[in-house]
Structure 1
């Protein structure tokens, strides 16, 4: 297996995880870790992790398209992600060709009526690039381990969070950003939770993701507070409890973000 491009020490990991663990209301259940440690769980974890990276990129793309750019820029974003979506959802194309697609070929034109547009674009475009890179890295690892990709159903996790998003603006956008923060923070916490129980190179790969995931959650939170005309802490606490319930409650569908295994 290839060495991860970014090495990270245990001390650096602890520093990155300290605010994450304060932000989250609970840690990954021991029962989930026990399930994840089983050799038969690795294929489902790798495949679901890969899809989660794409969905994170798609969520960021949708935020840019809806709230920050003109139509031509939005169409360029759609074309950027299309090869990844074709492979993941329609099983079209060779995954190795995706290495040539991780670049946005058009400058994003921000909406002049939205003062936060440029910052939203800058942070979300960087997030998309990183998530698509992680997507490809997981595919490389899966191929080296002999795990072939096929379609996989979504877990309840993200859907359970977004169910609580308010239906009017800008509250809807604020809630979506807070949900994004929790998804990224939980990903970071869970990478660290499972990494020590995996083969050394695979565990180091998961540790190598902590820095970007930790920054993503902070970017989502800072954007939410910038856009909101009120203090976001009550909504942050609301989603904290919703997220904790999803993580701690019994879950029969074992996935990367699933709850306590039944």
Structure 2
């Protein structure tokens, strides 16, 4: 696919992400990612990233939208696949008759912006996960076990342990992960085959919205300026992206091993 497909609309969409990130993807990573022999790892890790994003959002819903004694009422990720299109207001889970003491689980949920945004994100990430699996199946790429990169773990190591600082930090990290994903989809798209190029371009809108949603939620939970923490995690993220990395993954740093 020609780079012209990243038209003015997407250039406008990517501009704030480029401003948000403290560095662009190093050319060495892009050069490695373009190699045909790296495609299987790229697709498997992409699938893993989509599932991990859904799981992380699910964890936030459980921890911050339900009282501790009611968390067991919220089911696993399969539940979100069965939800109808999201309503505009907070009655996200009310259509499902998951009973606990004869009350729907939604009756126990706080009707807040975190719930609405995270459920939407979970649904989209699970859909993307299924799309990647379909592409892998068509190309006979096995969904093998793949070790995680140091990327997310490296940033989560800096999360503060008290609230609301902990959730603010996790939300800021979520913003950086989504922003980096969006940036890399855009970087890769012009160099991939037609199907993958179109697929990666199709993901740009949702990933860009996810990063904005995470930042908005972080600001809401903080109740004060988060500029200092955003800058701090931006520095951590850029350091991980620019440092030599022995593993090649979707969010890895500069490849140190060919």
| TM-score, shorter chain, exceeding 0.5 | yes
Tell me, in whole angstroms, the C-alpha distance in 2 between the residues paired with 1:165 and 1:71. Answer: 21
Tell me, in whole angstroms, the C-alpha distance in 2 between the residues paired with 1:154 and 1:192. Answer: 22
Match of 1:61 among 50, 58, 61: 58
Structure 2 vs 1, CA of residues 110 and 246 (structure 1 numbering), >3 Å: closer, same or farther? Answer: farther
Mark the structure with the bigger radius of gyration.
2
Tell me, in whole angstroms, the C-alpha distance in 2 between the residues paired with 1:197 and 1:207. Answer: 12
Match of 1:10 among 7, 11, 27: 7
Deviation at 1:72, TM superposition (A): 8.2
TM-score, scaled relative to structure 1 = 0.84
Match of 2:166 among 161, 169, 172: 172
Where do residues 192-211 of structure 1 align in structure 2 (5 Å cutoff)?
192-211=186-205
Give the length in aligned residue pairs: 233
Q: Secondary structure at the match of 1:149?
A: coil
TM-score, scaled relative to structure 2 = 0.85
Question: Quick check: 1:252 aligned with 2:250?
Answer: no
Tell me, in whole angstroms, the C-alpha distance in 2 between the residues paired with 1:211 and 1:149. Answer: 26
Q: Secondary structure at the match of 2:81?
A: coil
Query: Could you say which residue in structure 1 is the equivalent of 2:93?
Result: none
Deviation at 1:74, TM superposition (A): 3.7
Question: Quick check: 1:24 aligned with 2:3?
Answer: no
Where do residues 141-220 of structure 1 align in structure 2 (5 Å cutoff)?
141-220=135-214
Deviation at 1:201, TM superposition (A): 1.5
Tell me, in whole angstroms, the C-alpha distance in 2 between the residues paired with 1:52 and 1:177. Answer: 16
Tell me, in whole angstroms, the C-alpha distance in 1 between the residues paired with 2:149 and 2:31. Answer: 19
Tell me, in whole angstroms, the C-alpha distance in 2 between the residues paired with 1:219 and 1:237. Answer: 17
Name stretches of at least 5 consecutive residues in structure 2 with no aligned partner: 84-95, 99-104
Name stretches of at least 5 consecutive residues in structure 1 with no aligned partner: 1-7, 83-100
Match of 1:223 among 212, 217, 223: 217
